[in-house]
C-alpha cells in the first residue's frame, strides 16, 4: 500500500470515505471523487496532505476524464481505480418506470464503465494498474424484490467486470480487474435510496463501512479477481442457484 496512488469514487461518505482514511493511514495517496464538495473536503482533511478532493459527477464521462487528468497532474500516475459510487432504488419490478431504469443505469453502470474506460489508457501505457468495482450481494442473488433495478444494475456491473478481465488477460496481464461484493452495510445507503426505503443501519447482519473498507484494502494489497466481504457469502450464492436448478428439474 505504501506510496500507491488510489482513486476512489463516491468518496464523500460511507465505504468510500472509510476506504480513503484507511489507505492513507497505510501510506497511500488518494484522489477522492464525489459531487458533494463540503463532505468531500471534510474527508480529504481527515486524510491529510496526501489527499486530493475532486468535485465531479461520475455519471458524466467528461467529468470522469477530468478527474483522471487531475489525479495524474497531482500524483503523476494512478495505481488503483475504485469504482464505488452508486445509489439504491426502492421499487418492485412491476412498478419500474423508464426513468427509474435509466437512473440506475446512469449511476450504477455508466459511472463504472466511464471509470474503467477513462483510466485504462493510462494503465495500458504503464502495463500495470488495478480496477476495483464495488458490486453487491444483490448483484449475485436477487434477494430483495424492492431493490429490483438496483440488483439488475449490479448484475450488469459484474458482467462488465468479468468481460474486461477476459479482454485484458492476454494483452495486458499486468492490469488487475477486481470485483468486491458487500452485503448489508451500515451506512445511509438505504435512506438515501430513490423513493426512500429501509435504513441499512437498522437491518440485521450488517457490516460497518470500516469492515468493508478493510476487505477492499486487502484486495489492493493482494489483488484477487472476485471477493465477498463476509464469510459464507459465496456458499449462499451457490446454494441459491443450486436450488433453482433443482426446482427446474
CATH number at residue 102: 3.40.50.720
Q: In the prediction, which pLDDT does 248 show?
A: 47
Angle between the N-to-C axes of helices 14-25 and 37-47, in degrees from 0 to 180, rounded to the nearest 10: 20
Q: Are 193 and 203 in contact (CB under 8 A)?
A: no
For cell 458524466, name the residue.
Answer: 60
Are 135 and 179 in contact, with CB atoms under 8 Å apart? Answer: yes
| Predicted local confidence at residue 88, as pLDDT | 94
CB–CB of 183/230 below 8 Å?
Answer: yes
Q: Measure CA 84 to chain center.
A: 3
Of 156, 155, 55, residue with least CA distance to 110: 156
Low-confidence ranges of the chain (pLDDT < 70): 202, 204, 245-249
Note down the domain range covering 37. Answer: 5-248
Q: Quote the CA–CA distance of 16 and 10 in Å, as a whole number.
A: 6
Q: Find all residues with CB under 8 Å of 175, minimum gap 6, and list them.
A: 120, 123, 124, 127, 128, 129, 130, 131, 168
Can you give the pTM of this predicted structure?
0.94
Q: DSSP assignment of 43-80, as one string?
A: HHHHH-TTEEEEE--TTSHHHHHHHHHHHHHHHS--SE
Give the separation between CA 135 and CA 165, rounded to whole angstroms. 15
Looking at residue 204, its pLDDT comes to 66
Residue 187 cell numbers, joined = 451506512
229: left (phi over 0), alpha (psi -120 to 50) or beta: alpha
Determine the pLDDT at residue 246. Answer: 53
The total number of residues written for the chain in this structure? 249
pLDDT score for 247: 52
Catalytic residue numbers, as ranges: 150
Q: Based on the structure, what is the number of domains in the chain?
A: 1
75: closest CA among 31, 21, 26, 17?
31
Amino acid at each position: 500500500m505504501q506510496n500507491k496512488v488510489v482513486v476512489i469514487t463516491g468518496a464523500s461518505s460511507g465505504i468510500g470515505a472509510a476506504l480513503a482514511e484507511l489507505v492513507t493511514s497505510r501510506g497511500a495517496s488518494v484522489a477522492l471523487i464525489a459531487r458533494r464538495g463540503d463532505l468531500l473536503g471534510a474527508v480529504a482533511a481527515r486524510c491529510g496532505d496526501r489527499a486530493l478532493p475532486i468535485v465531479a459527477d461520475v455519471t458524466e464521462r467528461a467529468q470522469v476524464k477530468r478527474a483522471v487528468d487531475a489525479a495524474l497532474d497531482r500524483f503523476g500516475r494512478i495505481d488503483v481505480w475504485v469504482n464505488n459510487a452508486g445509489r439504491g432504488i426502492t421499487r418492485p419490478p412491476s412498478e419500474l418506470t423508464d426513468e427509474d431504469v435509466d437512473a440506475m443505469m446512469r449511476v450504477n453502470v455508466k459511472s463504472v464503465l466511464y471509470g474503467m474506460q477513462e483510466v485504462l489508457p493510462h494503465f495500458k501505457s504503464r502495463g500495470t494498474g488495478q480496477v476495483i468495482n464495488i458490486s453487491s450481494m444483490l448483484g449475485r442473488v436477487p434477494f430483495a424484490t424492492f431493490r429490483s433495478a438496483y440488483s439488475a444494475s449490479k448484475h450488469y456491473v459484474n458482467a462488465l467486470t468479468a468481460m474486461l478481465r477476459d479482454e485484458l488477460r492476454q494483452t495486458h496481464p499486468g492490469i488487475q480487474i477486481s470485483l468486491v461484493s458487500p452485503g448489508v452495510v451500515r451506512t445511509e445507503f438505504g435512506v438515501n435510496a430513490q423513493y426512500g426505503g429501509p435504513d441499512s443501519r437498522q437491518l440485521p447482519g450488517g457490516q460497518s463501512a470500516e469492515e468493508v473498507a478493510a476487505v477492499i484494502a486487502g484486495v489492493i494489497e493482494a489483488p484477487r479477481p472476485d471477493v465477498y466481504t463476509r464469510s459464507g457469502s459465496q456458499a449462499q450464492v451457490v446454494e441459491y442457484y443450486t436450488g433453482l436448478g433443482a426446482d427446474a428439474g
